[in-house]
Structure formats: structure tokens, C-alpha cells
Structure 1
Amino acid sequence: MTAWQWVKVVGNFLNLSTLAGAFVGVLGRAKFTRGPRGLYFANGYKLGFPVAGAFTIGNVVLSKHNRSYFDDAALVRHEERHSWQYFCLIGLPMLPLYVVGVVISFLLTGDPASRNPFERLANLKEGGYVERPIQPLGKTVTQAFSVLRSRPKGP
């Protein structure tokens, strides 16, 4: 690890974001392993939220997938950038700000990542995202209702 990565590890521990990530991983019954760049991988995450291939809280990268999912160096770089975002935003304020980014991106494009500044700064492509163009709000609303209508009804 570089000296700056050590600074991030210590900072995210002190701002409690890494501890929060570990807590969420324990709740999700994930298996923890040490990764590169000061990251910890929490694989086999069993909770259904959030819906993502991987998500980062502090220096903890959580995923429902097994450890080999992180053999992709670009994905690891993407998730490390998110860990820097926690450092720069002094920890847990990142979570509500990220949600605001998701809402804005969805309203503009019908996609939660395309215009989310946190995903853009972490490199959309390296995170496995496809950039969607800005579209009229009416189209976004129509898409949302279409998805809701197509979901199976409960018992």
C-alpha cells in the first residue's frame, strides 16, 4: 500500500465508515478477506439491498458474489475510488449524498448510475456501467411505471 492509501485506511476507520461497512457485512453474513489498496472484501453478502454487483462502505467492498468477482482490476479501482469518496466526505455523509445522486441520475436518464456524480468520478465503465443519455422526464416516468406494472403481485 502507498502512504496515501494508509491515510485513507486510517481516515475511514476514524470517520466510522469502515466500521459501518464491517457491520453491514456481518448483518449480511458475508465472508471477509483482505484485498489490495487497503480494501476489505465482504463476499457472499446475503441481504437483498442494495441491488448491485458490489457496493462500498468505507474501505469495505460488499458483494453477493464470491472472491473471484474481484479478480477484475478495473472493478477494484472503481470500488477504491468510492472508498476515497468516503474519506473526502468524512465518512457516512456519503450515503445520503449518494442516494441524492441516484435520484438525480434516475430522473435525468432512467438509470441510477449514468449521471450520479459519485459513479462518474469512480469511472462508470470500470464499475461495469453503461452511460445512458439524458432523456425527457416523461420517458423516465413511463419507464418507471412500466417496470412497476411488470413486477409480479404478492400473495
Structure 2
Amino acid sequence: MAARHVTRGLLTALNGTTGAGLLVALATRAKIRRGRHGVLIAEGYRLPIPPASCFTVGSVIVTRRSAEWLLDEQRRELFEHEHHHAKQYALLGPLFWPAYWVACGYSYATTGSWGARNFFERRAGLKAGGYPTDLPLRPWLARLTGPSASRSRNRPSGTPSPD
């Protein structure tokens, strides 16, 4: 296993987030399996929330399905998406939770999607995580920013403002 995966696993173990993921698995009677890159997969998660097919807590990917389902080559991008979240946990530790929920709130307020403008989901890959990639701003926010704001967003970087 690569040193970076060992380091991520060690960091998420030390910051307690992998322990939290194992508690989620234990509390929901999910079975723990080994995955790629040193992550653990908790298969058979039974609660209705969150509605996603899988989510990550520390270095534990929790899924309603089987580990084989998640590790199948057809879902490599989904696995890598969830693995990227494990790396985010390694960097932020328990601070990931409030930061993630703030990012969810921002994304929902601006687009109506929990993930479309969520910094963490965008960094992990929106499409791989099953999130829409091209949602416009909500109409009230688009009106608030106005046409002058959209002109400045569409201007190539380094181009001076017409003001």
C-alpha cells in the first residue's frame, strides 16, 4: 500500500473520524470489509438517511450495498469520489463535519442541490458522486447578482473591468 494511503489512514485514526465511522457501522450492524487504498467498507447500512448509496466517515465508506458492489470496476469513479472524502477527513478531522454542512447549506441556498456548489463535493468530483454539474443559480440570486455581475464572471481573467 502506498505511503500516502497509510498516512491518510493514520491521520483519520488519530483524529477520531475513522472511529466515528466504525461506530456508525457498529450501530447499524453493517459488516466491515477491507477496500482499496486502505479504506474500510461498511456494507449493509440500513438507515434511510442520508439517501445516498454510500457516504464516508473518516476512512470508512458506508454503503447500503455490498463491498463487492462498490469495488466493482464499473463504480471505480464512485469509490474514488468517496476515497477523496477520506482524504478530506485526514486534513480536517472532526472539523470536516461543520465545514461540510456549511458547504451543503451554501450549495442548497444557491442552487437547490446539496452538492452542486459544495466545495467538498466539487473537489471529490460531482459527476462521480452522482451530483448535478451544471445547475444555475436560483432565480432570486441570479436577479440579485444582476447582469453586471454575470458580465464580470464571463470576462477572461486579467481583462480590466469596463468601469
- Taking structure 2 as the reference length, what is the TM-score of the superposition? 0.80
Residue 80 of structure 1 pairs with residue 78 of structure 2: no
Partner of 2:106: 104
* Equivalence for 1:149: none
Gaps of 5+ in 2: 142-163
Residue equivalent to 1:54: 54
CA distance in 1, matches of 2:68, 2:115: 24
Partner of 1:122: 124
| 5+ long unaligned stretches in structure 1 | 139-155
**Once superposed, what is the RMSD of the aligned Cα atoms?**
1.5
- Matches of 1:41 and 1:59 in 2, distance apart? 9
Question: Kindly tell me: are residues 92 and 28 of structure 1, through their superposed partners in 2, closer, same or farther at Cα, counting changes over 3 Å?
Answer: same
Which structure dedicates a bigger proportion of its chain to helix? Answer: 2
Q: How many residues align?
A: 138
**Correspondence for 1:152:** none
In 2 relative to 1, CA 23–137 (structure 1 residues): closer, same or farther, beyond 3 Å?
A: farther
- Partners of 2:96 and 2:41 in 1: CA distance: 19
Q: Runs of at least 4 residues of structure 1 off by over 4 A?
A: none
Deviations 1:63-117 (A, max 9, x none): 112223312111111011000000111x111111111111110111011000010
Cα pair 1:108 1:137 within 8 Å, conserved: no
Amino acid at match of 1:13: A
TM (norm. structure 1) is 0.84
Per the TM alignment, residue 137 of structure 1 is displaced from its structure 2 partner at its CA by 4.1
